[in-house]
Structure formats: structure tokens, C-alpha cells
Structure 1
Amino acid sequence: MMKLSTICWMIIALLTLTFFLEPVKDVTAQESNDLKWQLKKMEEMMRKQQGMIENLKDKIEIQEDISKSYVTPIDDEVIGKKVDEYLQKGEGKGMWAEIIKRPKLGYKKGFFFETKDKRFSMKINGRIQFRYSYEDRDNMHDTDEQQDDSSFRIRRSRVKFSGKAYKHFKYKIELALSSTGTVDGSRAIELYDFYASWNKNPAFSVQFGQWKVPWNRQRVVSSQNQQMIDRASSQDEFTMDRQIGVMLHGKLFNKKFEYYTGAFNGNARNQRSNDNNEMLYIARVSWNPFGAYGKGIGEVESDINFSKKPIAHVSAAMAYDGAADRERFSSTTIDLDPPVGTGITLKEVNKTSVVAEYGLKYKGFSTNAEAYWRRFDDIRANNIDSVGSGVIIDRGFFVQGGYFILPKKLEVAGRYSLVDFDDERDEDAVREVALGVNWFINGTHDNKLQFNWIRQDNELPNSASRSDDIDNTYRLQYQLAF
């Protein structure tokens, strides 16, 4: 910008030039009144020129003020220091200390708050699954219970609280909300998960409370992150579900090896205490040859991240329960030898369960499978030495896979599942075939639409009076999680 002094000198030069160019009459030839007139004229001209100078000065000052109003990085740093001095030493002393004590609030895969020292935090999540199902039953029974049905259903509605406490503790609280309440004896609000975990050392962590027993992977994977709408029928038969207990777990060798071992009541969730002196014991190991298979045993099933490198796991687990499933064995579920009445009361039954698994993900393709083996021992009734052979062995498995036709958007999936019951049981086998299509609206499981066709064949032992139960189910489900 042109300086003020330069402009002033230019104006003076212009005035001087004007003065010399003005025609001047011979003083000697003019009277004194002519000289006075010329002097007056020059004074008027000078006043006009002075006014122009003042106007130019005002304009220059305004432009300089405008240019100074734009804050440069240096000015911003100076202002920051001044504000900090005000808050730390000036009239605002103590205000800054109060501000930094306030918790951090925001949204990141859930609404959360966290203290400034990061010792305490909580994340709040919600989830709803809205479902339509049409079930086509073909079992040659003409009863109301066996007719086809078509219905809408709120399959799941959950609220979850999770976070950290005292730096090294993690916790989770999950509540299930029911639309039926006490109409059918269920609770309107039911506690599903409530546990805390001490995680100072990743190789040796302790967890206690109520949660899904880490026996088989598909049960531990949240229903929010499933590849198919429902879990396999074989998984439903062999699962340990949620229990109250304590567990040791850890990750070693750069997260390639994981282990879990624990003791639980063995009488399902939300029980005040164990009703006997026996426990459910579990032990599980996983080997991840290419590195960590996600965050842990509860990782999502689909390869929605379109893994650039293959990730895989091979796992096995064993469980023993010294007082298991007495209600499973009555005269209506197994053949009794010797035959007795239907009012039989069974003693405690020993159960041993084994599962073997694998999982693989690579560039949108994913596959996983689980194989089950279960043995019930010492099946005895009061005053009867044995029921049948006293031993029942059940087997089962499922294999499942999927592929993203459109990365992170459209996936097709399928599954085959089998439960092969012991010959002494009243059931023979349960076979399931399922096909599915998943549309991930936002590229995540949190907002997705799923369609499944499921054919389930409940095979019964050969009998002239009975026929197999065959169900064809068409299921559409929308999930919103936040």
C-alpha cells in the first residue's frame, strides 16, 4: 500500500505545478486591488487542496485498519497467549481448571463420555431388530399349532452400557427390552450381561459376572454382527449360553494364541445361586496363524472390511458339567429300559461337551464351521439303576460362508447344519439348509437389511404313526444399531 507521505508530496507537487501554470499579470501594471484578488483566489485554492488531502488521509487510515483486521498466524498465537494468561493469571484464574475437569462428550460408535484423566468412561448403545416371517409347515398334522403363520416381530431390542473404570477395568451391562412384559411370564426388562474385566496384562486377564460362556464362537458373536439372521440350529442345540461365573483369559505371541478357562454355575442366566455343588468348567484355545482374528472371540462373521490379507483361526474347546440338563431326560425323550411310568424323576446327569472350529476371511469371502460332540453319563432315575445304556452321545455341525458381490454393500450367504441325536432319543436328526442376502446400507452391520430362506427337517425315528416335521421359513429383518 502506498504510504501517506508519498501521497502528500505528490499533492504538493501538483499544487506547485498548478501555481506556476496559472497566468500572472504584471504586478507593476495592476493595481493593489488586483493583487488582493489573486491572493484571495490562491487562498481558496489552498483550502480546497487541504480538504482533498484530509479526505485522502481518512481513506488511507480506513484501508490500513481493514488490512489489520485480518488475523495472521502470529497474531493468532499472540491472542492465544493473552487468553491463556487471562485464564491462568488474570480475572479468569481457575476458570480453565474447571473447564478441563469436565468429561469429554461425543459420539463414536455410540454416545460416550470420558473423564479428562481417562480413568472412567461409558458408552451407550441401542439396537432394534424388526422382523417379518412367513412359516410354511409341511408335517401332515392338522392341528392349530402346526398351521402356517405370518407375523411381524420385534426380535431384539437392547440397551448396552460399556466402558472403563479405574484405568485397568472394563465393564459391560446389557439389558433386553420386551414388548410382552409379564403377559407370558417373561420380564419387560431383563438383565443379559453384567460383567467386569481386569485387563492390565493382555496375557492374563480376569473377568467375572454374567455373560456368554466362551465355549463356541458363533454363540459369543453378537446377534448384531451375524452373517445369517439367526444362528445355526446345531449351535442352538449344543450352546452353553449365558452363565454366572469367573474366567481367566489372555492373548500371547502377538495375539496369535488365545486362551479362555473358567468356572460357572451352569444353571443359565439370572439365577440367584447354584442349586447344587457342581460347576460348569470350560477351557478354550484359539490359534490365529496370520495374526489376530479381529478383536477376539466375538468378532463379526462377514468379511465386511474386505481383508487385503487372509485372516484365520483354528479353535477347540471342552466343557464339563457335573449336574446338567436333568429336564432333558424323561420317558418322553428317551427309550427307557426297563420301561417305567412317565412320572420318573432323574438324578444329576454328567455332561461332557467338545467343539472344534475354523474361520477364514479374505477379500470379501468368509467361511466358518463348528463341529460338536456331547456325552451324557450316569443317566439314572430314582430306584432304577440305569435308563437305557446310561450313556447318550449326540453329534452335530454346521458350515457357513458368504461373499460380497458389492464390497461392503451386498453379500450372499449360505449354511448347512445337522444335529445327529443318539439312537435312544425320541428324535433322530435335525437338518437345516439356509440361504441369505444381506444389504449393508451404510457399509456396517449397524444399518442392514437381511433376507433368509430356511428349510428345517426334523427327522423322527421310523414309525407308522409319525412323520417328519418340515418347515420352510421366509424371513426379512431390518436392524438399526447406534
Structure 2
Amino acid sequence: MKRLLLSSLLLLTSGLLYSQDDIHKSQEFKLAALPYYSYGKGLGMTSADSLFQLNIRFRMQNRVTYFDYEEGESNYEAQIRRLRLRLDGYVGDPRFQYALQLSFAPGDVGAIEEGENLNIIRDAAVSYRANRHWNIIFGQTKIPGNRQRVNSSGSLQLTDRSINNAKFNIDRDFGFQVYYLNELKDKFSWNVKTAITTGNGRNWDGKDTNVALTGKLELLPLGVFTKGGDYFEGDIAREKTPKFMISGVFHQNNDSQYDRGQQGNLLFEQKDLQSTFIDAVFKYNGWAAMYSYMNRMTKKPITYGFDADGKEAMSYVFAGHGMDYQVSYTFPSNYEIIGRVSTQNVHDDLYKIQVPDAKQYSIGLTKYIWEHAFKLQTEFTIDDLNYFDGSHERNWYIRFQIEIGI
């Protein structure tokens, strides 16, 4: 374990070993012109001496959903699903950047529990962009996991991510990340992304022995997507030539305390978790297709202990695998139709204790008013749940959502 950590730390520091001439020649940051205000991606302000820049963005999602349960009473839910404020920019030198994102909606923050931290902080990170290839990040932010999770929730085609993303993603964490980026227009491109993090997720302030290691390789055989299109769903940029990305991730979370690694419920016994992700994205002339594979594995996922009342209890790692298939077409009128199918199979030990296998079918219609920043979304989703005892359950919901932001 010590050798693994030493090797990883050497990788993290290697990106700093560049001459100043190389850094200046590859510098691509553009400072805002007078009068130091811009309205591109948010509201930007740059100091007169160009030594400080602040960009302010917000976004919110308002939604109403009707749920129909086969077992249980049907109901509706109306809520502010997300309300977020993001501040980013640089201080002193455009190579030294910062990003801060705060969340305020109940679904983002979570219930207030005694002894637990309030989860307002989503991102708080500093990055050093040495040149166009190397980027080093320190702080709390998303780690390089599956594509749908790395994408902002504001850049989704449907109103929520898939059931597999909800169960298997590795989310945010605190630590170091190092990226080597080799992105070219219309030419073979590739990126390598690595991370060493606590493995405990957002806003952890305790002491622990666990550590998480992540490695990701992204291949773009036909060059980069228009306007970073591999980071938002749907071909709203209407790619003039075909674009394709495939990526793979391996993630090891040693001595995890939580049933889903960086998040979830506490386990009675710490576990080593291994996660694998494969993603593929294709876009051309309004058409977009995505495929995802996700899994989480561990030895003996079920743990036993005692609850707060001293009674025998059980907790388990959510182990298993799943696949997502998603296809869409964006019309020139900026209406879009979307379809997604997800399959999820849990570990055999979980299936035997009545944790169900699941399938999810979703169709959606979106109207883009101002790209992903202002859009109207409708979605119809069916969940099929199959249990070990042979029972079956089918639930569905229909949802309307408005996303708006700058």
C-alpha cells in the first residue's frame, strides 16, 4: 500500500516539472477586455490590473412529478430540485484558478441530522493549469468517474440521471487530481485523468485510514466535440462531422465506511470497493447516442452489527452492475426527443435478501430556449422491479421541469 501511495504522489507532482518558457508558450487564457465585465458563461468581472477575475453563475430546477406505485398510494411531488450558486475565476495569474459551488435546495443539502455536517458545499477547489496539457486540482469536486455523473445535472436531456448512476457513481471527494489533456480539433485526441482522494465523499471532517485511487482514459478518435459537447447530453450543437468518445475508469476505495463508497449509509464493517465504468458518446447532425456500463464489487457485501437500540442489524454494499442505452434527436426548431433504457443487476447475495433487479424505461421531450441554460422538459418513466421470491413490481412517474440559469 505504501508503494502504491508513493507512486501516485510522484505522478501528482510530475506535472509541475516544466520550464517557464514552455508554460508561457502554451498559455491560452484570454483576459477580459475593458470595461472588465462579460456576459458569456455567467456574469464575469476582471480587475483593472487583470490580476483577479470572478465569474458568477446560478441555476435552478423547478419540477412537479406525479408518481403511481403498484404497491402503495399514488401521490405528487412539487419542489425546487436544485438551486445552486457557482463562483469561479483566478487570482494573481490565470494559471491559478478556483471554483466554488454551493447548493441550497432541500434535495441538494439533505436533512439536518444531529452530529452531521450540513452539505451546502459541493465544490471548493483550486487548480493549477501549467499549460494546455497539464491541470492539477486540489480540493473538493467531482472525481473523474462515469460520464453522466461528470456532466452537470443542468446538462442532462432527461430530468434525472439513470438508476445505475444513482447507485454506482463515485460522485465528489476531497483530494488531489492530475489531468493530462491532449485535445485536438478533427484529430485523434486522448486524455488521462487521475485522483487520490479520501474516499469519504463531500464535507468529511473526521479522521480515517481509507484512501481512494481513480484512473481514467478518454479517447476521441475524430477530435474534440464542438463547444465541449462530450460534457453535455444531446447534439444541440448539431455536429457537422461525426464525433465519438469512449472512456474507461477504474476506481479503488480502500476501507470504505459507506455502502456506496463516497456516499450512502454507514456499514458495520469497512470494505474495499472496486468500481469500473465504460462510456461511449456519439454525435452527428442532431443525433446523439450514449452507452454506459457501471459496476461495484467487493468481497462479502453484507455486513452485520447492532443498531442504536442494541438490536442485531444488517447493512450491505450496493454491489452489482448495470447498463444504460440512450438515443436522441434534436430538431432544427430546438425540440428534442429522447429515449433511454437501463438495466440493473445486483450481487447474488443482495438478490437473495430481496434487493431487486431493476429495469427502467424513459422517454422525454425537451424544448431548448437557450441551450441547456434555459429549457422545458417533460419525462415519462417506468420502473420494473423483480425480486428473488418471484414477485414483480411496476411503478411509473410523469414529470415536468423547468431549468434556468446563467
Q: Please state which band the TM-score falls in when normalised by the shorter chain.
A: 0.7 to 0.9
Matched, 1:371 2:293: yes
Q: Output the CA distance in 2 between the equivalents of 1:237 and 1:361.
A: 27
**Which residues of 2 match residues 27-426 of structure 1 at below 5 A?**
104-139=36-71, 146-165=72-91, 166-178=93-105, 184-185=111-112, 190-252=120-182, 254=184, 256-273=189-206, 275-293=207-225, 299-325=231-257, 327=259, 346-377=268-299, 394-404=320-330, 406-407=331-332, 409-425=334-350, 426=353
Q: Output the CA distance in 2 between the equivalents of 1:164 and 1:355.
A: 32
Please state how far the C-alpha of 1:380 moved relative to its aligned partner. 7.8
Secondary structure at 1:237's aligned position in 2?
A: helix
Gaps in structure 2 of 5+ consecutive residues: 1-31, 306-315
1:86 counterpart residue number: none
**Which residues of 2 match residues 451-462 of structure 1 at below 5 A?**
451-462=378-389
Q: Output the CA distance in 2 between the equivalents of 1:228 and 1:473.
A: 13
Aligned AA (2:387): L
Structure with the higher fraction of residues in helix conformation: 1
1:27 counterpart residue number: none
CA 445–326 in structure 1, closer or farther in 2 if over 3 Å, else same: closer
CA 118–468 in structure 1, closer or farther in 2 if over 3 Å, else same: farther
Q: Deviations over 1:124-181 (max 9, x none)?
A: 1111111010001112xxxxxx311112111111111111222202221111113699
1:447 counterpart residue number: 374
Aligned AA (2:281): G
Counterpart pick for 1:476 among 392, 400, 404: 400
CA 381–371 in structure 1, closer or farther in 2 if over 3 Å, else same: closer
Structure with the higher fraction of residues in strand conformation: 2
Gaps in structure 1 of 5+ consecutive residues: 1-99, 140-145, 334-343, 384-389
Q: Which moved more, 1:278-287 or 1:146-155?
A: 146-155
Name the TM-score, length of structure 1 as normaliser. 0.67
Matched, 1:437 2:370: no
Please state how far the C-alpha of 1:460 moved relative to its aligned partner. 1.4
> Considering only aligned residues, what root-mean-square deviation do their CA atoms show, in Å?
3.1
Q: Output the CA distance in 2 between the equivalents of 1:181 and 1:309.
A: 38
Q: Output the CA distance in 2 between the equivalents of 1:215 and 1:297.
A: 17
Contact 2:260-2:318 at 8 Å conserved across structures: no
Tell me how many residue pairs correspond in the alignment: 353
Contact 2:81-2:106 at 8 Å conserved across structures: no
Q: Output the CA distance in 2 between the equivalents of 1:272 and 1:297.
A: 36
Name the TM-score, length of structure 2 as normaliser. 0.79
Q: Which moved more, 1:350-359 or 1:422-431?
A: 422-431
CA 408–318 in structure 1, closer or farther in 2 if over 3 Å, else same: farther
Using the aligned pairs only, state the percent identity.
24
Please state how far the C-alpha of 1:311 moved relative to its aligned partner. 1.1
Please state how far the C-alpha of 1:257 moved relative to its aligned partner. 0.5
Q: Deviations over 1:59-83 (max 9, x none)?
A: xxxxxxxxxxxxxxxxxxxxxxxxx
Q: Output the CA distance in 2 between the equivalents of 1:288 and 1:260.
A: 14
